[in-house]
Chains A and B, each alone.
Chain A
Amino acid sequence: MHFVPNPELGNRIITLMAALVLVLQIAAVGQRWIISSIRIFAVQSFLLGAIAAVIAYFNQASHIYVVALLTVFLKAGLLPRLLERLVGRIGIRREIEPLINVPLSILVTGGLTLLGYVVAESFYHPEETSARAALGHNTLAVAIALFLIGFFTMVNRRKALTQVLGLLSLENGLLLAAISLTYGMPLVVEIGIFFDVLVAVMVLGILVFRIRETFDSMDVSKLRKLRE
């Protein structure tokens, strides 16, 4: 007899982990130390990989396992390692005050999450009572919230490195939306996105390093000044 996993249970686990991902994102917004932000990102990516694995298991979609493995290795392992090395080389450990102060940023984050839910609500069709529809509803909201908060982090932070982290969490949101709604795009597309992100981070890493070399600061607002 073939063992059929209970989709209700899978749904619950995924929703729970998606909520955890969201909590981590809110924690990252309140975080000042660059190293801690990177570690939060690593844990978040690991959770995302776990979500992918759970989706793969409960829907018997074996190609999502590849996505899960790639996420865990690249985003939870390699990228944080690269970024930490970069932080070590630049020698800057703390973020300066963001443009909007932290309590207000956290409030904004809450508002953005709400917006995510409102947007996701319009995709929700209660007449479709299948677990799949409900699953898409919950995780889509979290994914949109991640996306918006990633944007907000990029706008709000001044250091180029934390802006890179904002971009990465934005990408995490995209990945969550993709795997939870469509149960995985074609594998080629996924791998393409992964290498895109990897190359982007490497290029941005070099760019950040160069900015630091040239301007003695990672503060992007100083880029306005032209120098010989």
Chain B
Amino acid sequence: MTELLTNSGLQLVLLLLVAPLLSGMIKTLKARLQTRRGPGVLQSYRDIFKLLRKGMVIPETASWIFTVTPYVVFGTATLVGLMIPMTTTHAPFSLFGGVLAVVYLLALGRFFLALGGLDTGSSFGGLGSSREMTISAIAEPAMMLAIFTVALGANSTNLSEMAKVAVGQSWRFLAPSQMLAFAALFIVLIAETGRIPVDNPATHLELTMIHEAMVLEYSGPYLALIEWGASIKQLVLMTLLVNTFFPFGLSSNWTAQTVGVGLVFYLAKLLMLACMIVLVETTNAKLRLFRVPELLMVAFILGALALISTFLF
């Protein structure tokens, strides 16, 4: 019981603290690669603290959905974070649900975010919501197919079980099905976190914005919650990617030493994935909106091929 408590406590702290750091790190790395100085690594924390202390402007036309949305977005992201293994193979809420719960909790957060965008009746919010739904309609099946490929290899949809099996055969990512699934999930990660070929996180230009358009009406603590939730969601997806495909260093028992090693490995893997994302963001131009489904279709086909090839190889 105490083990469960310390495990969830540690993971919760990690989630809440590492997520903004990771966003800041990606921003800094990206700036450095473009030979700009860029904001410091801690800028995301400063933004969140600044927003939390500010007042709020709530549109007159907004209903209860507008006020509920930030909590739902933040809550679902954190809950999903507690369901996936981060430093140990045993996630705190692993009994609670498997990959299906993860996918649908993320979908719930996104659904509310889209509703929140629509709720105020501003045209930008509706535009952002419609774009977000267009993208997620293809990104979600692609994500499911990719995760199911891994689940099939482990004979379980429970993420902790999957991690345990993966630790047992840590060179499994060399199998073609795993590689295809990884490629599919990486494209989905780019799409879901609103990164450059799909969405530009640093713009407020009405022609291109997706995520920013939905949260345009939010301000103060609500905006802080949404941004924090978004960075947690990013951390969750990245964790899913690194820990299911590259399970090195995941500790399978609960001693201070192995957990420490697990933590170091985990952070190193996250940093490497962040570097990959930065490279993709810097070397690509943003796609036109109507080209985005093509990219996601590639992810979908890769996921489908991955699933098929587990049966055939």
Contact = CB atoms under 8 A, between A and B. Distances in A.
A121 B309 CA distance: 12
**Chain B residues touching A, majority SS:** helix
A113 B293 CA distance: 21
Nearest to B176: A19
B176 A15 contact: yes
Interface in B269-313: 293-295, 297-298, 301-302, 304-305, 308-309, 312-313
Q: How large is the interface on B (under 10, 10 to 19, 20 to 34, 35 or more residues)?
A: 10 to 19
B12 to A, nearest CB: 38
A26 B294 contact: no
B301 A106 contact: yes
Given A110-B305, A114-B308, A117-B308, A23 B297 contact: no
A107 B301 contact: yes
A103 B176 contact: no
B180 interface: yes
A16 interface: yes
Contacts of B304: 110
A113 B302 CA distance: 11
Nearest to B301: A110
A102 interface: yes
A30 B305 contact: no
Nearest to A9: B174
Contacts of B18: none
Nearest to A134: B313
Contact of B298 (A15, A18, A27, A138): A27
A12 interface: yes
B312 A106 contact: no
Contact of B174 (A16, A18, A107, A117): A16
Contacts of A113: 305, 308
A20 B174 CA distance: 11
Interface of A is mostly: helix
A109 interface: yes
A23 to B, nearest CB: 7
A22 B304 CA distance: 13
A106 B298 contact: yes
B299 to A, nearest CB: 10
Interface in A23-58: 23, 26-27, 30
Given A106-B301, A107-B301, A138 B183 contact: no
B179 interface: yes
Contacts of A141: 312
Given A23-B302, A26-B302, A113-B305, A103 B313 contact: no
From A12, A20, A110, A114, name the one whose CB has the most chain B CB atoms within 10 angstroms: A110
A121 B176 contact: no
B312 A109 contact: no
A23 B183 contact: yes
Nearest to B183: A23
B301 A102 contact: no
Contacts of B298: 26-27, 30, 106
Interface of A: 12, 15-16, 18-20, 22-23, 26-27, 30, 102-103, 106-107, 109-110, 113-114, 117, 121, 138, 141
Given A16-B176, A16-B179, A18-B176, 19 more contacts: A12-B175, A15-B313, A16-B175, A19-B176, A22-B305, A23-B183, A26-B298, A26-B301, A30-B297, A30-B298, A103-B297, A106-B297, A107-B297, A107-B301, A110-B305, A114-B308, A117-B309, A138-B313, A141-B312
8 contacts: A23-B183, A30-B298, A106-B297, A110-B305, A113-B308, A117-B308, A117-B312, A138-B176
7 pairs of A and B residues whose beta carbons are closest in the complex = A19-B176, A110-B301, A103-B297, A102-B294, A106-B297, A117-B312, A106-B301
